[in-house]
């Protein structure tokens, strides 16, 4: 649906997009995730046609977008500020893009009513734009874009201005809307949770580059680099020494844990003198009770801090012979007792608990 | 007694406004009251007859001379306002939407440069430019385009319009520019994203959203133009005289302050009613501006 090839963009001396290449499939919910300044909004605006590029190409639906202004592109955008025209009513806002189609009054009214109904704002047509709440504005912006039946809907951090409860509600609503309409959605967000819950695929961006592009599950389970890993949830980063590589399995000595055989990810490359470290998610290790040995590997450790959070308990532990604090989370089941600070424990883990991460230089 | 005590906030507020309040009582309300009283008296050679009468107003509103002057003032003011706002709008548009951000301060500075010269000086300069042996005639004759100096460009209503429009231009540019600067650029992008060409985007978004600035500029130009008497006196000639010149004549040469007062109040009424319409328009546009 959207082919972005080798896109380069500079703002003066600032390198905003570095050799961005990605393919967004038809009908998918695609997210651009990254911290502020990572170039994700610039990339979205490039697709919409608001930003020129230095080199590379944008192809949407098989057509090159070179020299095509935003008003001629098969994309519509929901702006971060929603950009609801303040001098118009809700219905006038929603009907804005229909002018060129010259549909006549009755047909326009029908379409506006239908669009407002789709976003849950039936009956709001006569409201003045400034009499709307944040969530309502967002829905108007959505209706205004969707009424034009775009091939691609671009969303620039559409949920960041909403409060938590409304945000979660809108997340699932957007997801349902996308599925029922079958339109390609491209969402820009800095919220990893939002990207994980809503998207089919996520491109993680840092400093104008796509660091990793994959499904939410793959990104969480097998992040390619330390930066990506740290962006998604909690990850213990431990020093790792590569001992050998055989048949796609890397033998590694991990600080505190000892030797592990980790399957090599598709992106990883142990040649070329790259530096690596190991990552272990807190939930993939277990604080073992006395006599329990449910895991193939276990290491002695000492509890340095306990954080009780109701459903989960977070332990800060230090492995014998290591000074790096490691976080282990445990689900609080009925017969599991909470350990105390200073208590000696055994931590259970397995090869699949660990991932090899590329360390950025 | 307790009710008489003011809370600290109210006391502070009162002390803050007391000076401007006294100022406006003395310099605005009091003269206006005197004018009002004066307008219902009658001048009887050297003495004032203080019997209340509406004769002055009847004369001001029925005598063809005054009516002509009043209508001419209204006409010239409307033309000056139209010319000024039409010239100011593109200038403000350029400053706000076209010029790069780092150039805006310089442009505002350039707009204010005419103020470095006194207003009278600028009127005299227009006399030099438009005069019988002035810059325009000199150039046209030098180019051989005309044999004799054009005499219709100075001492008439056209000269008044040209001079006043030039004088008011910066005052009209600034309010329009300020309103344009407040227009969220995302609206423009959204309009284009929804299929508008730059022309339609201007008609449907930029123009309506900059209307409050246009209304403000219109008022700023219109109100002082109707009361102006220096410019018509210096460049207007007999056909360019306006109502304010007649008011001046009544107060000074004709020694008929009561009639002058009645004329002044009539002009004030005219200005107020026109301004009232614009304030109403402004409010209508401003109500939709609160949203960002």
pLDDT, tens digit (0-9, with 9 covering 90-100), for A84-111 = 999 999 999 999 999 888 888 899 999 9
Is pLDDT at A269 greater than 70 in this prediction?
A: no
In this prediction, residue A141 carries a pLDDT of 94
Residues A191 and A52 in one domain: yes
Contact A87/B190, CB-based, under 8 Å?
no
Do A272 and A315 have their domain in common?
yes
Of A186, A221, A256, which marks where a domain is finished? A221
Which is more confident, B221 or A104?
A: B221
Provide the residue range defining the domain that includes A7.
2-221
Closest by CA position to A154, among listed A69, A59, A44, A80: A44
Residues A268 and A301 in one domain: yes
- pLDDT tens digits for A209-238? 999 999 999 899 888 888 888 888 889 988
pLDDT recorded at residue B3? 58
Pick among B195, B206, B214 to test the A interface (most A CBs inside 10 A): B195
The verdict on a CB contact (< 8 Å) between B209 and A87 is: yes
The band of B262, judged by pLDDT with boundaries at 50, 70 and 90, is very high
DSSP 8-state secondary structure symbol assigned to residue B194: T
Contact list, B195 vs chain A (CB under 8 Å): 71, 97, 99-100, 148
Q: Are residues A200 and A256 in the same domain?
A: no
Record: contact B196-A71, CB cut-off 8 A: yes
Q: Which of A221, A244, A274 is the last residue of a domain?
A: A221
Report the distance separating Cα B179 and Cα B220, nearest Å.
15
In the predicted structure, residue A265 carries a pLDDT above the cut 70: no
Owner of token pair 């409201």: A127
Same domain, A232 and A212: no
pLDDT confidence of residue A321: 82
CB A348 within 8 A of CB A297: yes
Rounded CA-CA distance A288/A56 in Å is 54
Chain A closest-CA separation from residue B188 CA (Å): 9
Residues A284 and A346 in one domain: yes
Chain B closest CA to A154's CA: distance in Å? 11
Pick from B204, B290, B291: CB nearest A84: B291
CATH number at residue A18: 3.40.50.300
Within an 8 Å CB–CB cutoff, is residue B196 touching chain A?
yes
What are the chain B neighbours of A81 within 8 Å (beta carbons)?
184, 186, 292
Q: Are residues A207 and A250 both part of a single domain?
A: no
A184 and A304 co-located in one domain: no
Q: Which residues 268-287 of chain B have a CB within 8 Å of chain A?
A: 285
Query: Using CA atoms, how far apart are residues B106 and B101, in angstroms rounded to an integer?
Result: 10
Q: B207 and chain A: CB distance < 8 Å anywhere?
A: no
Which of B50-54, B171-175, B254-258, B279-283 reaches the highest mean pLDDT? Answer: B171-175
Chain A residues inside the 8 Å CB shell of B179: none
Phi-psi region of A229 (alpha: psi -120 to 50; beta: other; left: phi over 0): alpha
Shortest distance between the Cα of A266 and any Cα of chain B, in A, equals: 39
**pTM (whole model) above 0.90:** no
Contact A128 B288 (CB under 8 A): yes
Are A68 and A21 members of one domain? yes
Who's near B60: CB < 8 A, 6+ residues apart? B66, B259, B262, B263, B266
Complex-level ipTM: 0.83
The number of beta carbons lying within 10 Å of the beta carbon of residue A185 is 24
CB < 8 Å to B200, chain A = 99
Q: Supply the pLDDT for residue A270.
A: 55
Chain A partners within 8 Å of B184 (Cβ):
81, 83
Amino acid A64: pLDDT? 92
Domain tally, chain A: 2
A214 and A171 part of one domain:
yes
pLDDT tens profile B69-123: 999 999 999 999 999 999 999 999 999 999 999 999 999 999 988 888 888 899 9
pLDDT at position A59 over 90: yes
pLDDT at residue B36 in the model:
92
Residue A282 has pLDDT above 60, yes or no: yes
- Compute the nearest-CA separation of B201 from chain A (Å): 10
User: What domains lie within chain B, and their CATH numbers?
Assistant: 1-39 (no CATH), 55-287 (1.10.3720.10)
Q: What is the least distance, in Å, from the CA of A15 to any CA of chain B?
A: 21
State whether B289 and A71 contact (CB < 8 Å): no
> In CATH, what number is assigned to the domain containing residue A242?
2.40.50.140
Tell which of A198, A221, A244 closes a domain.
Answer: A221
Collect all residues of chain A within an 8 Å Cβ-Cβ radius of residue B288: 86-88, 128-130
pLDDT of residue B291: 36
- Structure confidence at residue B292 (pLDDT): 34
Q: Are residues A200 and A241 in the same domain?
A: no
The CA distances from residue A109 to A76, A116, B193, B195, in Å, are 20, 10, 21, 19
| Token pair belonging to A356 | 């090899």
Beta carbons of B173 and B211 less than 8 angstroms apart: no
| Element containing residue A201 per DSSP (H, E) | strand A201-206
Residue, of B112 and A248, whose pLDDT is higher: B112
> Which residue in the block uniquely carries the two structure tokens 């007999």?
B238
Identify the pLDDT of residue B93. Answer: 96
* DSSP output for B50-111: -S--SHHHHHHHH-HHHHHHHHHHHHHHHHHHHHHHHHHHHHHHIIIIIS-HHHHHHHHHHH
Query: What is the least distance, in Å, from the CA of B111 to any CA of chain A?
Result: 30
Report which DSSP code applies to B6.
P
Tokens of A174: 């957007």
Q: Work out the widest C-alpha separation in chain B, in whole angstroms.
A: 87
| Alpha-helical runs (H) found in B97-150 | 101-112, 119-130, 135-142
Dist. CA A208–CA A42, nearest whole Å: 9
Record: contact A69-B184, CB cut-off 8 A: no
Residue A87: C-alpha distances to residues A147, A183, A281, A307 (Å): 20, 30, 51, 52
């Amino acid at each position: 649906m959207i082919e972005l090839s080798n896109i380069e963009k500079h703002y003066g001396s600032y390198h905003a997009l570095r050799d961005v290449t990605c393919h967004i499939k038809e009908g998918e919910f695609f997210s651009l995730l990254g911290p502020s300044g990572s170039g994700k909004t610039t990339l979205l605006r490039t697709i919409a046609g608001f930003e020129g590029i230095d080199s590379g190409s944008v192809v949407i639906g098989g057509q090159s977008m070179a020299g095509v202004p935003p008003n001629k592109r098969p994309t519509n955008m929901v702006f971060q500020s929603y950009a609801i025209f303040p001098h118009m009513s809700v219905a006038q806002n929603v009907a804005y893009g229909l002018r060129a189609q010259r549909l006549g009054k009755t047909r326009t009214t029908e379409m506006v009513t239908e669009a407002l109904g789709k976003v849950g704002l039936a009956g709001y047509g006569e409201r003045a734009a400034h009499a709307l709440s944040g969530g309502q504005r967002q829905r108007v912006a959505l209706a205004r874009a969707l009424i034009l039946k775009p091939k691609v809907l671009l969303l620039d951090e559409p949920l960041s201005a909403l409060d938590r409860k409304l945000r979660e509600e809108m997340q699932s609503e957007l997801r349902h809307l996308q599925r029922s309409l079958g339109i390609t959605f491209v969402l820009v967000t800095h919220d990893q949770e939002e990207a994980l819950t809503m998207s089919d695929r996520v491109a993680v961006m840092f400093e104008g580059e796509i660091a990793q592009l994959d499904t939410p599950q793959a990104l969480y389970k097998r992040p390619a680099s330390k930066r990506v890993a740290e962006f998604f949830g909690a990850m213990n980063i431990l020093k790792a020494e590569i001992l050998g590589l055989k048949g796609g399995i890397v033998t590694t000595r991990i600080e505190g844990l000892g030797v592990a055989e980790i399957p090599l990810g598709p992106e990883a490359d142990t040649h070329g003198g790259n530096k690596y470290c190991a990552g272990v998610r807190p939930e993939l290790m277990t604080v073992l009770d006395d006599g329990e040995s449910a895991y193939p590997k276990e290491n002695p450790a000492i509890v340095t801090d306990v954080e009780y959070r109701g459903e989960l308990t977070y332990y800060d532990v230090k492995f014998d012979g290591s000074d790096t604090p490691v976080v282990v989370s445990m689900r609080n089941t009925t017969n599991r007792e909470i350990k105390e600070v200073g208590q000696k424990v055994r931590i259970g883990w397995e090869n699949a608990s660990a991932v090899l991460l590329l360390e950025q230089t | 007694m307790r009710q008489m005590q003011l809370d600290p906030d109210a006391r502070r507020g009162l002390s803050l406004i007391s000076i401007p309040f006294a100022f406006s009582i003395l310099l605005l309300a009091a003269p206006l009251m005197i004018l009002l009283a004066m307008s219902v008296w009658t001048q009887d050679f050297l003495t004032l007859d203080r019997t209340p009468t509406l004769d002055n107003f009847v004369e001001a509103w029925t005598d063809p001379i005054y009516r002509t002057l009043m209508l001419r003032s209204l006409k010239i003011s409307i033309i000056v306002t139209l010319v000024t706002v039409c010239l100011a709008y593109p200038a403000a548009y350029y400053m706000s939407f076209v010029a790069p951000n780092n150039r805006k301060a310089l442009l505002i500075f350039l707009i204010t440069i005419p103020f470095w010269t006194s207003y009278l000086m600028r009127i005299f300069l227009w006399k030099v430019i438009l005069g019988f042996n002035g810059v325009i005639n000199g150039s046209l004759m030098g180019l051989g385009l005309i044999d004799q100096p054009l005499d219709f460009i100075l001492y008439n209503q056209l000269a008044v319009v040209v001079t006043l429009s030039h004088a008011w231009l910066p005052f009209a540019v600034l309010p329009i520019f300020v309103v344009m600067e407040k227009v969220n650029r995302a609206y423009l992008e959204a309009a284009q994203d929804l299929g508008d060409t730059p022309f339609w985007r201007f008609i449907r978004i930029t123009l309506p959203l900059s209307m409050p600035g246009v209304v403000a500029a219109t008022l700023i130009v219109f109100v002082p133009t109707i009361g102006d008497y220096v410019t018509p006196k210096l460049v207007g000639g007999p056909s360019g005289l306006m109502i304010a010149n007649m008011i001046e004549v009544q107060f000074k040469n004709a020694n008929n302050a009561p009639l002058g007062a009645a004329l002044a109040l009539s002009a004030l009424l005219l200005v107020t009613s026109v301004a009232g319409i614009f304030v109403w328009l402004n409010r209508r546009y401003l109500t939709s501006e609160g949203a960002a």
